[in-house]
Amino acid sequence: MGGVLGGVLEKPKKYTPPASKGRANRRKYRPRSVQTGKGRAAGYGKDWEAYRWRFLHYNKFCYCCGGKATVVDHIVAHKGDTDVFENNTNHLPMCTSCHNTATAKYDKFNPPKTEEKMKWIASRRERFKVNIAVKVIPYRKKK
């Protein structure tokens, strides 16, 4: 504790945590995408980023609520299947809120509840009076 020592104010001692043992006691580091099968490990690489940018450039509004689209949703959850992942007719533009709700409610199941998801999307489109058509963009550019 701080106090007075011979008329001079003494500084209180600072707490110093015990020294770290380094990486020895930690779990071996692996990128999160590899741990969970998400991100680049699930196909979301440079090709997807380029496609996503093009798709959202031509489809600016959320298919469900009419807000600004920021996410490309897979209608049928791909679960790692590249044919379903790259299918041009399997993509919808969505805002983050609609996408997160639909994914949490319907895509986490195995098999995913696609019919219920489409009913939910239709009800939101009706409630918000959204009449937007989706422009289909090819996933990969022709070489």
Q: pLDDT digits over 88-138, tens only?
A: 999 999 999 999 999 999 998 888 899 999 999 999 999 999 999 999 999
Q: Is 99 left (phi over 0), alpha (psi -120 to 50) or beta?
A: alpha
Does this model's pTM top 0.85? My answer is no
pLDDT in tens, 3-33: 555 666 777 777 776 666 555 555 555 555 5
113 part of a folded domain: yes
22 part of a folded domain: no
Range of the domain at 63: 43-127
70 part of a folded domain: yes
64 part of a folded domain: yes
Task: Name the residue among 39, 30, 138 with its Cα closest to residue 91.
Answer: 138
18 part of a folded domain: no
5 part of a folded domain: no
Report yes or no: 93 and 69 within 8 Å, Cβ to Cβ. yes
Mean pLDDT of 43-61: 92
Q: What is the reported pLDDT for 110?
A: 85
4 part of a folded domain: no
Q: Per mean pLDDT, which of 13-17, 33-37, 44-48, 65-69 is the most reliable?
A: 65-69
- 57 in helix, strand or coil? helix
The Cα–Cα gap between 34 and 47 comes to: 18
118 part of a folded domain: yes
How many domains does the chain contain in total?
1
Residues 6+ apart with CB under 8 A from 110: 79
